[in-house]
Structure 1
Amino acid sequence: MTLRELPRASALVVIDMQQGFTDPSWGEPADLDGCRAHVNDLVAAFTNAGLPIVIVRHDSDKPSSPLRRDAPGNAFFDDIAAVDPAVLITKSVNSAFLGDPDLDDWLRSRGIDTLVVCGIQTNMCVETTARMGGNLGYRVVVPLDATTTFPLAGAGRAADAETLITATAINLAGGGFAEVVTTAEVAGAL
């Protein structure tokens, strides 16, 4: 599917672009540098189009997390820290819709009905936010190359980062939650 046009009622939602994700405890990310470059391209495109940018920060409640509020890893990467967002959402769970201030209220009060969701982690906070956005009736677009994640194990199984990114693409597009595209397609549709 090719993304043809994004309406003026669109917002960019940048999720958890935080320094704590460089901590080795996460494992090897799938092209973190590429993700960061694509997120920066999206920020520039939305800024140039005069469309709002929502920045989301994960404030972990887990004492050992590099993303906890009092840890250096809670800080944004410098390029994202330099962005002047329309709103900053803080959360301690996967979905940006369960943060503070209330993202759904903020979007609806501004007539925004289309979300471009990017950031870290593809299969966690990005996917959860995209699914909830779809369930709440938003048009959700996920430029997959502007996301990244890490290997994960559980239930006696394991998957590398690329496999998890592919699974998210299938979940979102196949499940009807979001359009899965590229950063170039989003920039071309603005």
Structure 2
Amino acid sequence: MSRTALINIDTQQSFFHREYWQEKDFPDFQQAISALIAGCEARGVPVVDIFHVADSGPFSLESGFVAPMPFLTHQPAVTFYKHVHNAFTDTGLDRWLRVRDINHLIICGIRTEQCCETTARVASDLGYRVTFASEATLTFPMTHKGITLDCDALRHRTETVLEGRFATIKTVHEILECE
């Protein structure tokens, strides 16, 4: 059994119903994450789906949108629901991984600088080796104090703060070459 798991974070239909949703980077993300999932499945790496759940709106279970995006056809090894930014707090993910002696996590999903980055940081703090597949993550522009960071700037910022501290940044091709 592989000691690696692919953690697919928040790749859910809820995002289609947010005001900031945009299609600009979606085709590239869709292609990258699909290749990563298929490659991991072919190598016997379990895929873990994580979905964000809120009390109301498009992230509530009642909305019907807390479901995989339509292009995703894989069968996850397990699915966990989270209520915070990281995939570990109160989900059972850590226990599930440890019972299976998994010590290496590949992180992909939505949003690069929020739930994906936060999960990578927590995973590292918990002792996991973390690979961050930033090309298989998706985000949206953010504005603070009149300054907007586009998706490329947010991705670069995330890679900069994670690399060598919390994770190793790799492309999908590099990840699948190693597994």
Both structures adopt the same fold (TM-score exceeding 0.5):
yes
Match of residue 94, structure 2, among 94, 98, 104: 104
d(CA) in 1 for partners of 2:135, 2:128:
21
d(CA) in 1 for partners of 2:122, 2:54:
20
- SS in structure 2 of the partner of residue 146 of structure 1: strand
Deviates more, 1:67-76 or 1:87-96: 67-76
Match of residue 37, structure 2, among 43, 49, 56: 43
The equivalent of 1:172 in structure 2 is 162
Distance 1:11 1:26, change over 3 A: same
The equivalent of 2:51 in structure 1 is 57
Runs of 4 or more off by more than 4 Å in structure 1? none
Amino acid in the other structure paired with 1:113:
N
Match of residue 15, structure 1, among 9, 29, 32: 9
d(CA) in 1 for partners of 2:48, 2:90:
12
The equivalent of 1:145 in structure 2 is 135
The equivalent of 2:79 in structure 1 is 88
Higher RCO (Cα < 8 Å, 6 or more apart)? 1
Amino acid in the other structure paired with 2:67:
A
- SS in structure 2 of the partner of residue 51 of structure 1: coil
- SS in structure 2 of the partner of residue 142 of structure 1: strand
- SS in structure 1 of the partner of residue 65 of structure 2: helix
Deviates more, 1:48-57 or 1:19-28: 19-28
The equivalent of 1:76 in structure 2 is 68
Tell me the TM-score normalized by structure 2.
Answer: 0.92
Q: Which structure dedicates a bigger proportion of its chain to helix? A: 1
Show CA shifts across 1:86-119 (max 9, x none). 110101111001142x111111111000000000
- SS in structure 2 of the partner of residue 57 of structure 1: strand
Q: Any gaps of 5 or more consecutive residues in structure 2?
A: none
Q: Any gaps of 5 or more consecutive residues in structure 1?
A: 1-6
1:122 is the counterpart of 2:116: no
Deviation at 1:27, TM superposition (A): 4.3
Match of residue 187, structure 1, among 158, 176, 179: 176
Contact map agreement 1:29 1:151 (CA 8 A) in 2? no
- SS in structure 1 of the partner of residue 19 of structure 2: helix
Deviation at 1:23, TM superposition (A): 3.0
